[in-house]
Amino acid sequence: MYIETKKRSLLKGISWRFIATTTTIIIVYFFFGRLDLAIAAGFLETLAKILLYFFHERAWQKIKFGKQRIEPFNLWFTGLPLSGKSTLADAVYTELNKLDIPLERIDSKDIRDVIPNVGFKRDDRHQHLTRVGHLIKTLQNNSVSAIASFISPYTETRQAIADMTNNYIEVYVKADIETCIARDKTGIYLKAQAGELQNFTGVSDVFEQPVHPDIIIDSNKQSIAEATQIIVTFIKKHYMP
Amino acid sequence: MYIETKKRSLLKGISWRFIATTTTIIIVYFFFGRLDLAIAAGFLETLAKILLYFFHERAWQKIKFGKQRIEPFNLWFTGLPLSGKSTLADAVYTELNKLDIPLERIDSKDIRDVIPNVGFKRDDRHQHLTRVGHLIKTLQNNSVSAIASFISPYTETRQAIADMTNNYIEVYVKADIETCIARDKTGIYLKAQAGELQNFTGVSDVFEQPVHPDIIIDSNKQSIAEATQIIVTFIKKHYMP
A79-93 pLDDT, tens per residue? 999 999 999 999 999
Q: What is the pLDDT of residue A100?
A: 80
Long-range contacts of A174-179 (CB under 8 A, 24+ apart): A174/A79, A174/A83, A174/A216, A174/A217, A174/A218, A174/A219, A174/A220, A175/A79, A175/A80, A175/A82, A175/A83, A175/A84, A175/A218, A175/A219, A175/A220, A176/A220, A177/A80, A177/A202, A179/A83, A179/A219, A179/A220
Assign B30 a pLDDT band (cuts: 50, 70, 90).
Answer: confident
pLDDT grade for A95, boundaries at 50, 70 and 90: very high
| Nearest neighbour of B139 by CB, restricted to A8, A117, A139 | A139
Chain B residues closer than 8 Å to A11 by CB: 65-66
Taking CA–CA distances from A32, the nearest residue in chain B reads B32
Shortest alpha-carbon distance between residue A32 and chain B (Å):
8
Count each helix (H run) and each strand (E run) in chain B, helices first.
Answer: 9, 7
- Across A41-68, average pLDDT: 84
Interface of B with A in 109-148 (CB under 8 A): 111, 114-115, 117, 127, 130-131, 134-135, 138-139, 141-144
Among B2, B11, B138, the residue with its CB nearest the CB of A139 is B138
Instruction: Among A28, A32, A67, select the one facing B8 at the smallest CB separation.
Output: A67
Residue of A nearest to B58 (CA): A12
Q: Is the pLDDT of residue B169 over 90?
A: yes
Does the CB of A92 have a partner CB in chain B at under 8 Å?
A: no
Domain ranges of chain A: 12-55, 74-239
Tell me, yes or no, if A15 comes closer than 8 A to chain B by beta carbon.
yes
pLDDT at A175: 92
Asked if A37 has any chain B CB less than 8 Å from its own CB, the reply is yes
Give me the active site residues of B, please.
152
Tens of pLDDT, residues B109-168: 888 777 766 778 888 888 889 989 999 999 999 999 999 999 999 999 999 999 999 999
Q: Which of A12, A24, A52 has its CB closest to that of B45?
A: A24
B41: nearest CB among A27, A144, A241: A27
Contacts of B139 in chain A (CB under 8 A): 138-139, 142
The more confidently predicted of residues A105 and B183 is A105
For the question of an ipTM over 0.85, the answer is no
Label residues B12-51 b or e (16+ Cβ within 10 Å = b). Answer: beeebeebbbebbbebbbebbeeeebbeebbebbbebbee
Contact at CB, B104 and A138, closer than 8 angstroms: yes
For residue B169, give how far its alpha carbon lies from the nearest alpha carbon of chain A (Å). 20
Best B1, B21, B101, B115 residue to mutate vs chain A (most A CBs within 10 Å): B1
pLDDT tens, residue by residue, B121-138 = 888 888 889 989 999 999
Task: List residues bridging with A205 in a β-sheet.
Answer: A201
Mention every residue, 6+ apart, whose C-beta is less than 8 A from residue B90.
Answer: B105
Could A41 and B28 be called an inter-chain contact, meaning their C-beta atoms sit closer than 8 Å?
A: yes
Interchain proximity A127–B115, CB inside 8 Å: yes
Provide the mean pLDDT of chain B: 89
Mean pLDDT calculated for residue range A176-205: 87
Q: Which of residues 41-60 of A touch B (CB under 8 A)?
A: 41, 44-45, 48-49, 52-53, 56, 60
User: Residue A2: its chain B contacts at CB < 8 A?
Assistant: 67-70
Q: Give CATH superfamily name and number for A74-239.
A: P-loop containing nucleotide triphosphate hydrolases (3.40.50.300)
Residues B68-103: tens digit of each pLDDT = 777 899 999 999 999 999 999 999 999 999 988 899
- Predicted pLDDT of residue A2: 64
